[in-house]
Each structure stands twice: as structure tokens, then as C-alpha cells.
Amino acid sequence: MMVKLIVMASSDFRGVLNSAQELKMTFVGRKTGKKISIPVWFVNDADKLYLLPVSGTANKWYKNILKNPTIELQVSGKKATAEARPIKDKKRIEEIVDKFRAKYGASDVKKYYPGQDVAVELSL
């Protein structure tokens, strides 16, 4: 029997999110089984974090988290673990893309996120 341990984010972790532009996400490779770390942009909304895979459902990290949804997050020396949940509802994706536009600017979101067919939600 496999048991997943989900560690909720501490208030310290949540506190540094508001001033951060990116965080480090670590996930397990679906083919290699090795941990992979990458920087990602995110949007913080209360007790949720939202991520956009750059090339949408074709994005490699997105494919990896579908197989192994438990990911580690790190920002400003603070760490948390979360379960990734895909969002495929077009209206919800557009709401999340709007949040990215507000944080990072519409031109950068258009430039860096051409595949907007999925988003990822993380509960903190």
C-alpha cells in the first residue's frame, strides 16, 4: 500500500510568495524517475498557486506531473510540497491567464505562454 504525505505550506512560505516573481519547482521525471528542478512563473491566489505550462499539454513538465503529481516548491529559501491538479476548463484557464497577465504583463504572457490549453492548481 502506498501512502502519500502532503505537507501543507507554512505561513513563512506563503509570506514570501507575494514578493516573488518565480519559484523553483521540483518534480519526478516520468521516464527517468529522477528529480528535475526548473524555475517557473506562478500566480498566488489566497491558498492556491497557479502555474501555466509554456506549451500547454505538450509541455514536458506538465506530462511529468500527470504521472507524479506531488511536487516540491521553493522560493526565497522556503519550501513546501503540493499536489498538482490539472485544470482543463476553458473558462477557468482564461481566468488564470488573466491573473498571469496582471502580474507579468500581457505581452510577456503572450510571448512566453503560447499554449494556453491547460493550467495547474496547487493547494497550499
Query: Rounded to the nearest 5 degrees, what angle is found at the Cα of 22, between the Cα atoms of 38 and 10?
Result: 95
How far, CA to CA in Å, does 83 sit from each of 72, 74, 93? 9, 14, 18
The hierarchical CATH code for the domain 11-123 is 2.30.110.10
**Would residue 12 be called left, alpha or beta, if left means φ above 0 and alpha means ψ between -120 and 50 degrees?**
alpha
Note the Cα 71 to chain centre separation in Å: 9
DSSP 8-state symbol, 21? S
Query: By C-alpha distance, which of 1, 53, 56, 45 is closest to 27?
Result: 53
The domains of the chain are located at 11-123
pLDDT tens, residue order, the chain (124 aa): 333 333 445 677 888 888 899 999 999 999 999 999 999 999 998 889 999 999 999 999 999 999 999 999 999 989 999 999 999 999 999 999 999 999 999 999 999 999 899 999 998 7
Tell me if 4 sits within 8 A of 36, measured CB to CB: no
The predicted model scores a pTM of 0.87
Looking at residue 52, what DSSP letter applies? Answer: -
